[in-house]
Chains A and B, each alone.
Chain A
Amino acid sequence: MNAQSLFYWSLAVTALGLVLIGLWGVLTRKNILRIALAFTLADTGVNLILVWSGFLPGRSAPIVDSSVSSMVDPLPQALVLTSIVIGVAVAALFVVVGVLAARKSGSADVRRMKELKW
């Protein structure tokens, strides 16, 4: 296994690992801000997977000038930019709502936020 494909597969494993850790955190943490962090982790992992989906071992970054002959697929990188921006917005909103909800319920514990049920 050469360095390129090692990088390729470690990227995939890291990304998947981040997603799984994030999901685990979302399901097990009780503090709303920790849940927000866990979501951000998972989001990062997903973004890495997006990048990975366009990654072709042995090619260079898609910055076009005369010297570049073979580059990786540029589209996922464009997508990832959008996704990151959206992710920031969602995370910010999540934290705001989370903080205000915590203030309202007097605790950041998500288990306290179940007035609405059944």
Chain B
Amino acid sequence: MVKALAVFLPLLGAFVNAWLPSKSPRASRFVSYVVLVAGLLASVVLSIRLDAWDLKNLSDSVILSTGVGAPPLSINLEITAGGILAAVAMYAATIFSLHRFARTTPKSQPLILALLTASLGLIYSTDIFNSFVFLEIGSISTIGLTAACKCGSRWEAAIKAALVSGLVTILYLLAVATLYRSTGMLTLEALGLLSGGSAILVSILLLTVIVTEIKAFPLAGWGLDFYQGASSVVAGLYSATWSLAVLLWAAKVLPLLPIGNPIIYAWIGAAGLVFSQLAGLRASSSGRIMGYSTSAYASLLLVAAGTTTGSFYTQTVIVLMVFSSLAKFSLFMLGNPEKSDKWSGFGTIIFLVPVLLLAGIPPLPVFWAKFAFLAHLASNFPVIFYTVLTGLMLEAVYLFRFWSQRSERTNETNPYKPSAVSAVLIILLAGIWITKLSWGALDFSGAIIASSALRNVFHSLFAIGTLLCLPGVFKRIGREKNYWFWLLISGAALTILPAAGNGITFYLLWEFSAFAAVIAVSKGVRASRGTFWFAVFASLSGYLLLAGILLSGGSFAIAGLPAVLLTLAALVKMGQFGTHLWNVKAYPAAPGTIPAFLSGTSSKASVLLLVAVALSSTGGSLPWGRVIAWIGALTALTGAVLAAMAPDYKKMLAHASVSQLGYILMGLGLASILGWTAAFYHTIHHLIFKMALFLGAAGVLYRTGTSEFNNLGGLVKKMPWTFAFTLISVISFASIPPLAGFGSKWLLYNGLVEQGWLPVMIVGMFASVVAFLYSFRLLHGVFLGQLSPRNAHAKEAPLPLLIPQAILAVAIMVLGFKPTLLLNFLVPAIDAIPGLSGLAPIIQGDMVLTTMGTWNAWMVGLMVMGIFGFAFVFYWISGHKPKYVGQLDIGFAGEIPPSADEIHYSNNFFRPYKRALAFLPNINAEKIFSGVNKTFGMLGDAVRALFTGDGRTYLAHSLLFLLLLFVFLNGGM
């Protein structure tokens, strides 16, 4: 009884609705709600009976006989556990979307219910002719619904769907006739009985039908047009019911096709994934972007059908397809894409959750399935694995661009559409549930970094860094939104990160932290570009990390290629070697204390990753340590030059941050005890001073509302404390002796000399010299010189920002005068790592001894303070009187400035150096990446030229595909 209710209630509702007088929309809506809720309840009961919710035995089933007796006298529907889960999602989506239809097209109720009936029938059907009937009902209701809902291009969308469905009908019936002719049976299992010519014929016919229906590349053209043209409510309902049903039906039929080697599916899928996602990069309409994403999931289905079997296959397919469909549903329900909707606050999140889900970011449900699936591919089908990963990366790029563009638009409509919000809630709950189911895969024993001392360094760095960013979170300016929650989440994930014991745990926490930070950045004012670049590079580094982890079998026992991939992941995350584009875009866009968190704290996750790679590959040495060190040195130099030229306070700090991380790479690349000590020392030091600087910048921005040097200057009298703390940090990172920075350079250069890496050292030293330039500019441009009139009312930064800076400044002093406090702890821990070369520095009291020399920080500090004090007293008694001049009162050596900005002293501050360097080719990261972007765009254009928009082209594609399959299979068999 329950079975029949779960399947046939919508059909009943459709009939009743069709007979109701058309003037009573309320009655028909009432009928729809009753049958849908009852059907949903029946499905839920059935799913519990089938024990579907633990996702283990999704192929378990019950049979629903529709006639008298057993087949062939009656047609049976097989209700599988996986199918019933999909049915629950379909019912829920239909219920959520009903009120939207009620408003726009009240008479569409019978069509909606017919669509649901067809979807349910198709996923339960076991008979090939029965499936045909449901396929036709589905197409008819889709075309009808599309045509009924008012939207600009509905007729065109409907006619294309109709054209394709016409062709599919013909091909499908040919397959049915052949099957019946050869076997005398019409069940799906009968497909396995075929042999010889009829097997090939049926296979190519059905495969063409399936690839067309699920909209996998290259037969996706009509689907793209359909999604673009149909009204968003129809497209939403369609993707949550019919599209999902077709995918699951295809998943059922594909393994049964007598095609010989199913690996051909995987190749069609993997190649199609890359091509369609290339074309997707060029899509601009929201509906079309969803279409490309659908195509991506269809391709994934083909790959899964070709490479996996049994319950793993069912599980992968159900989780991937059900949740991606729900995600698309909620994106469509969020509004008509072409009418710009505004998303603010939680609206952005409601929008972001489905995007993150489609991109497979943890802990959303699709992540778990994708991870397991990709792990399977990585260990069994490496080439397909790389291809699929490339396609998924491309998909992530356009999804994030879509998100950033959509959240940028401003308008009136309400983002809290109940339909979308409910679907997002379901996704989140399912995410928690599946996370709970998969919890056993996680391991928090900290095994990837065996040394508990080093682990504790990272634990405390992350925890302290996050805590210091927290007090300032409520000091937001202008239209910056609340971000404390995401800062906390990101920081918490980071804090746990060092405890990760296996690959999946590390990846989970890494991505969790990265994307919580992405959300936090998105809370800034006009942050969408910055957020986009951050998200793209975060997912690039995430995919590299994933590839590395999966290729090494899900663990961290890494060598060879996986180690290189993981190293690259860390480098991208650090913004090294040209990938600094994201740092430079995201830090200035991020709100409040987030830049401090990203640059000071979160960047240390990549140091952790490098350390983990080095420890687990070959005892402390990174792959190509020398190359890494060179990358670090060159980035240190270029980053410093770019920082010196930056016109903006936060942008300068972003470049400087990338540059400083280069020193850590030099240390780690050395693979010697001294190098690692220097690297750890600098990691800690960088966290301290960079957070102080960025918190100072947050204070300046909070009080003045600007971070451009052109509008700053002379703030020393208004913000003396901020100035003092910034000064301390600057002195420290300029490596002037009494403060902490000197130690890290001393250790590093000692290590470089010890190993004889003199060229690296020279570049590093030169970078330090350039660092003087930007540190001077930073102090001068913001705090010294004359006060800009617009900042006349600026006050000292608020205490929640000042107090953390004070703590950090004290830490710099302590570390500067007594570095042995830290070294006493670090050196033994690093000395204990087997495989590091060189000798450990010896610590005696305040003295640090290496083979190259000694360093007594306490003595040096006292001496420098003495000299400084002497100079200060001398200056004071000499009675030197400065001459005060206005900000615009500077000589211009005979040049005629074109605008008032040009004569501001902060403008183009280091012009002489820029001119001196003018002989260098003008290569910058932005140009390179826009070149990359253009190249991909051209490829995408070439691919999407296939989709001409002429409905007949799509039919020709299908027939051509059929012929190619025929040639290929005949040649291959």
Binding site for B on A (CB under 8 A): 19, 22-23, 26-27, 32, 35, 39, 42-43, 46-47, 49-50, 52-54, 73, 75-76, 79, 82-83, 86-87, 89-90, 93-94, 96-98, 100-101, 104-105, 110-111, 113-118
Contact = CB atoms under 8 A, between A and B. Distances in A.
Interface of B: 72, 129, 132-133, 136, 139-140, 143-144, 147, 153, 155-160, 162-163, 165-167, 169-170, 173-174, 176-178, 180-181, 184, 186, 224-225, 228-229, 279, 282-283, 288, 944-945, 947-952, 955-956, 959
A32 B140 CA distance: 18
A27 B956 contact: yes
Given A54-B180, A97-B147, A19 B155 contact: no
Given A97-B147, A116-B153, A117-B947, A46 B174 contact: yes
Contacts of A114: 156, 948-951
A116 B147 contact: no
13 contacts: A23-B170, A27-B956, A32-B159, A35-B163, A46-B169, A49-B173, A53-B177, A82-B129, A90-B139, A90-B140, A97-B159, A104-B156, A105-B156
Contacts of B229: 115-116
B156 A101 contact: yes
B283 A26 contact: no
Contact of A104 (B155, B167, B949): B155
A63 to B, nearest CB: 19
Contact of A23 (B157, B177, B959): B959
List 8 A-B pairs, minimum CB-CB distance, nearest first. A117-B949, A114-B949, A101-B155, A53-B181, A116-B225, A53-B177, A46-B173, A39-B166
Which secondary structure dominates where chain B touches chain A?
helix
Contact of B170 (A46, A76, A89, A105): A46
Given A90-B169, A104-B156, 11 more contacts: A19-B170, A46-B173, A46-B174, A49-B173, A90-B140, A110-B952, A114-B950, A116-B160, A117-B225, A118-B282, A118-B944
Nearest to A92: B140
Nearest to A73: B184
A72 to B, nearest CB: 13
A18 to B, nearest CB: 10
B463 to A, nearest CB: 50
Nearest to A99: B155
B140 A79 contact: no
Contact of B228 (A19, A23, A39, A116): A116
Contacts of B949: 113-118
Nearest to A98: B159
B169 A19 contact: no
Contact of A46 (B157, B177, B181, B952): B177
Nearest to B172: A46
Contacts of B282: 118
B156 A116 contact: yes
B140 A113 contact: no
Given A97-B159, A118-B947, A89 B169 contact: no
Contacts of B167: 23, 26
Contacts of A93: 140, 143-144, 162
Contacts of A42: 166, 170
Nearest to B152: A115
B965 to A, nearest CB: 16
A50 B173 contact: yes
Nearest to A30: B952
A98 B162 CA distance: 9
A2 to B, nearest CB: 21
A83 B170 contact: no
B969 to A, nearest CB: 20
Nearest to B945: A118
Contacts of A110: 159, 950-952
B952 to A, nearest CB: 6
A113 B176 contact: no
Contacts of A104: 155-156
A114 B950 CA distance: 5
B923 to A, nearest CB: 32
A62 to B, nearest CB: 15
B860 to A, nearest CB: 66
B911 to A, nearest CB: 46
A49 to B, nearest CB: 5
B936 to A, nearest CB: 15
B63 to A, nearest CB: 21
Contact of B959 (A27, A86, A94): A27
A52 B144 contact: no
Nearest to A45: B170
Contacts of B144: 93
A75 to B, nearest CB: 7
Contacts of B944: 118
B159 A26 contact: no
A90 B165 contact: yes
Contacts of B952: 26-27, 35, 110
Nearest to A83: B173
A38 to B, nearest CB: 9
A90 B136 contact: yes
A83 B157 CA distance: 25
B224 to A, nearest CB: 8
A80 to B, nearest CB: 9
A107 B577 CA distance: 57
Contacts of B170: 19, 22-23, 39, 42-43, 46
A115 to B, nearest CB: 6
Contacts of A116: 153, 156-157, 160, 224-225, 228-229, 949
Contacts of B143: 93, 97
Which one of B133, B140, B162, B951 has the greatest number of beta carbons of chain A within 10 Å?
A: B162
Contacts of A43: 166, 169-170
Contacts of A113: 155-156, 159-160, 949-951
Given A26-B167, A110-B951, A115-B153, A94 B173 contact: no
Nearest to B146: A97
B155 A100 contact: yes
Nearest to B226: A116
B701 to A, nearest CB: 42
B479 to A, nearest CB: 35
Given A27-B955, A27-B956, A118-B282, A53 B155 contact: no
B177 to A, nearest CB: 4
Contacts of B176: 50, 79
Nearest to A52: B177
A34 to B, nearest CB: 11
Given A26-B166, A27-B956, A101-B159, A86 B136 contact: yes
Nearest to B184: A73
Contacts of A79: 129, 176, 180
A90 B173 contact: no
Contacts of A46: 169-170, 173-174, 177
A57 B157 CA distance: 45
Given A26-B952, A97-B143, A90 B166 contact: yes
Nearest to A94: B162
B753 to A, nearest CB: 59
A96 B72 CA distance: 37
Contacts of A75: 72, 180, 186
A33 to B, nearest CB: 12
Contacts of A73: 184
B333 to A, nearest CB: 21
Contacts of B169: 43, 46, 86-87, 90
A104 B155 CA distance: 8
B174 A19 contact: yes
A6 to B, nearest CB: 19
Nearest to A95: B162
A35 to B, nearest CB: 7
A104 B158 CA distance: 12
Contacts of B155: 97, 100-101, 104-105, 113
A113 B180 CA distance: 38
A27 to B, nearest CB: 6
